[in-house]
């Protein structure tokens, strides 16, 4: 059985203007949080002591904003309580300004073999405008430090469609990252979600977003500049063999444990979500109430079939018609035949050798409409 582990660290130095992730810029409860988190990790370790972990993702927030001694407690807790597969991919998210010598020494001490760095743009004025607290130079320094310590499996996140960002600036960001031989690049379009500073500015008419045409132009530029990479998912490009195993596990509906504030897990056809209030999370765990879930939903076979479609189609390798039959005991065309035929006729999905369905380039541009068509039919 394939099993992943996600660990949420809900702290950041400050809040980026576009960010809706669950993170706090106040650090006063970090020790208490790590104590509680480690108890939750231990409890899942007991439950899954006979199952190997294929991938670990420590995300947030900015995990490396924690002092190294606290991060080491978490790393220790993971290796003491879980059995990691030999080729376990272990990623930690970091911001460039938090990649210090001490942190890198710890990465090397534990089997942490993949670093995901948030950069977003290479122009310092854009970084400042979107509320990032690091400079491009700090990203360069982080890359140098990681590589000189033998850590080369690195992702860098970029965002396009930033306020007033030109096509040339977007090209510059992509070309610069490629020049540094970064093996994995995630490129997302700026979207407004939740109660962020940018959402409020937009509602007051103080922020202009890229229109659909510019957004698609920027996406196409990414496809061109990153053409030496494997474009394996709508927003992700990797050198061969450097695709993110942990994300693929999500897209392939494999099981994963989620620990920490607001984390989600997917175990035995149920998806759970932990509570999102920091004090409640710590208090519940300290009161020996290890169940910090606020929701737990049974994912019916029908829901799993829908997820199979829209998660699988995110990947350029597409979905395997025979695999659907094997997993669900029913033909894909008996369930989704109407939509598949319609989308093939419109040139947004292609059928390769009557076996694999995947999105065409135009299909990627309207992927949200396509995904929605597989829901609740």
* Span of 15-23, 109-117, 287-295, 319-327 interacting with ligand SF4 by CB under 6 A: 15-23
Q: Can residue 23 be called a binding residue for ligand SF4 (CB under 6 A)?
A: yes
Token look-up 């018609």 returns 321
Q: Give the nearer residue to ligand SF4 in terms of CB position, either 59 or 265.
A: 59
To the nearest whole angstrom, how small is the minimum distance from the Cβ of residue 61 to ligand SF4?
5
Q: Distances from the Cα of 332 to the Cαs of 310, 326, 376, in angstroms?
A: 13, 10, 15
Please pick, from the candidates 3, 7, 12, 70, the single residue that binds ligand SF4 as defined by CB under 6 A. 12
* Span of 54-62, 96-104, 141-149, 192-200 interacting with ligand SF4 by CB under 6 A: 54-62
Q: Can residue 24 be called a binding residue for ligand SF4 (CB under 6 A)?
A: no
To the nearest whole angstrom, how small is the minimum distance from the Cβ of residue 62 to ligand SF4?
5
To the nearest whole angstrom, how small is the minimum distance from the Cβ of residue 15 to ligand SF4?
5
Q: Give the nearer residue to ligand SF4 in terms of CB position, either 273 or 351.
A: 273
Token look-up 């292609």 returns 350
Among 40, 9, 8, 11, which Cα is nearest to 28's?
11
φ, ψ of residue 358 to 5 degrees: the values are: -145, 165
Residues 157-216 within binding reach of ligand SF4 (CB under 6 A): none
Q: Where are the beta strands (DSSP E) in the chain?
A: 3-9, 52-60, 83-94, 114-120, 154-160, 184-189, 230-233, 236-238, 255-259, 264-267, 270-274, 293-298, 319-320, 349-352, 356-359
Q: Give the nearer residue to ligand SF4 in terms of CB position, either 11 or 343.
A: 11
* Span of 18-26, 140-148, 235-243, 286-294 interacting with ligand SF4 by CB under 6 A: 18-26
* Span of 9-17, 139-147, 314-322, 331-339 interacting with ligand SF4 by CB under 6 A: 9-17
Q: Can residue 15 be called a binding residue for ligand SF4 (CB under 6 A)?
A: yes
* Span of 58-66, 201-209, 275-283, 318-326 interacting with ligand SF4 by CB under 6 A: 58-66
Per-residue binding letters, 97-126, with ligand SF4 (x by CB under 6 A): ---------------------x--------
Q: Which two tokens stand for residue 223?
A: 């496809």
Q: Can residue 19 be called a binding residue for ligand SF4 (CB under 6 A)?
A: yes
Q: Can residue 61 be called a binding residue for ligand SF4 (CB under 6 A)?
A: yes
278 touches 29 (CB < 8 A): yes
How many CA atoms are closer than 13 Å to the CA of 101, on its beta-carbon side? 0
Return left, alpha or beta for 353; rule: phi > 0 is left, psi -120 to 50 is alpha, else beta: left
| Overall residue count recorded for the chain in this entry | 377
Measured distance CA(340)–CA(334) in Å, rounded? 11
Q: Can residue 260 be called a binding residue for ligand SF4 (CB under 6 A)?
A: no
Q: Can residue 95 be called a binding residue for ligand SF4 (CB under 6 A)?
A: yes
To the nearest whole angstrom, how small is the minimum distance from the Cβ of residue 298 to ligand SF4?
30
Q: Which residues of 88-98 are buried (b: 16+ CB within 10 A; e: fewer)?
A: bbbbbbbbbbb
Q: Can residue 62 be called a binding residue for ligand SF4 (CB under 6 A)?
A: yes
109 touches 146 (CB < 8 A): no
Q: Can residue 9 be called a binding residue for ligand SF4 (CB under 6 A)?
A: no
Q: What is the DSSP string of 302-319?
A: HHHHHHHHHHHTTBTT-E
Q: Can residue 60 be called a binding residue for ligand SF4 (CB under 6 A)?
A: yes
To the nearest whole angstrom, how small is the minimum distance from the Cβ of residue 109 to ligand SF4?
25
To the nearest whole angstrom, how small is the minimum distance from the Cβ of residue 95 to ligand SF4?
5
Measured distance CA(9)–CA(6) in Å, rounded? 10
Residues 290-349 within binding reach of ligand SF4 (CB under 6 A): none
Among 15, 10, 25, which Cα is nearest to 196's?
15
Distance of CA 177 to the CA centre of its chain: 19
To the nearest whole angstrom, how small is the minimum distance from the Cβ of residue 207 to ligand SF4?
17
Q: Give the nearer residue to ligand SF4 in terms of CB position, either 130 or 309.
A: 130
Residues in contact with ligand SF4 by the rule CB under 6 A: 12, 15-16, 19, 21, 23, 60-62, 95, 118
């Amino acid at each position: 059985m394939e099993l992943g582990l996600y660990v949420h660290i809900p702290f950041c130095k400050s809040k980026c203007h576009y960010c809706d992730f669950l993170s706090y810029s106040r650090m006063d409860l970090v020790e208490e949080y790590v104590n509680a988190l480690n108890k939750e990790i231990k409890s899942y370790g007991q439950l899954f002591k006979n199952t190997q972990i294929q991938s670990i993702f420590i995300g947030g927030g900015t995990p490396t904003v924690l002092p190294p001694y606290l991060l080491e407690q978490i790393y220790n807790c993971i290796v003491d309580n879980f059995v990691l597969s030999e080729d376990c991919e272990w990623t930690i998210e970091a911001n460039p300004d938090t990649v210090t010598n001490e942190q890198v020494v710890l990465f090397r001490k534990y089997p942490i073999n993949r670093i995901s760095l948030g950069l977003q743009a290479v122009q310092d004025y854009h970084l400042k405008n979107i509320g990032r607290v690091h400079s491009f130079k700090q990203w360069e320094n982080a890359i140098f430090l990681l590589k000189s310590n033998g850590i080369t499996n690195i992702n860098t996140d970029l965002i396009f469609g930033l306020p007033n960002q030109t096509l040339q600036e977007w090209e510059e960001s992509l070309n610069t990252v490629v020049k540094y031989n970064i093996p994995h690049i995630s490129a997302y379009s700026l979207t407004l979600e939740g109660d962020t500073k940018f959402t409020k500015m937009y509602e007051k008419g103080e922020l202009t977003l890229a229109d659909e045409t510019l957004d698609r132009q920027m996406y196409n530029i990414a496809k061109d500049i990153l053409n030496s990479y494997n474009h394996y998912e709508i927003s992700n490009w990797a050198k061969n063999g450097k695709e993110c195993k942990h994300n693929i596990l999500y897209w392939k509906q494999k099981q994963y444990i989620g620990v920490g504030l607001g984390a989600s897990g997917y175990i035995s056809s149920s998806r759970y979500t932990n509570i999102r209030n920091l004090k409640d999370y710590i208090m519940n765990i300290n009161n020996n109430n290890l169940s910090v879930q606020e929701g737990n939903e049974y994912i019916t076979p029908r829901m799993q079939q829908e997820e199979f479609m829209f998660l699988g189609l995110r990947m350029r390798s597409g979905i395997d018609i025979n695999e659907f039959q094997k997993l669900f005991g029913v033909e894909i065309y008996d369930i989704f035949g109407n939509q598949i035929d319609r989308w093939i006729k419109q040139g947004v999905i292609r059928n390769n050798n009557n076996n694999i369905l995947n999105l065409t380039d135009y299909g990627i541009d309207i992927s949200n409409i396509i995904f929605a068509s597989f829901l609740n039919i």
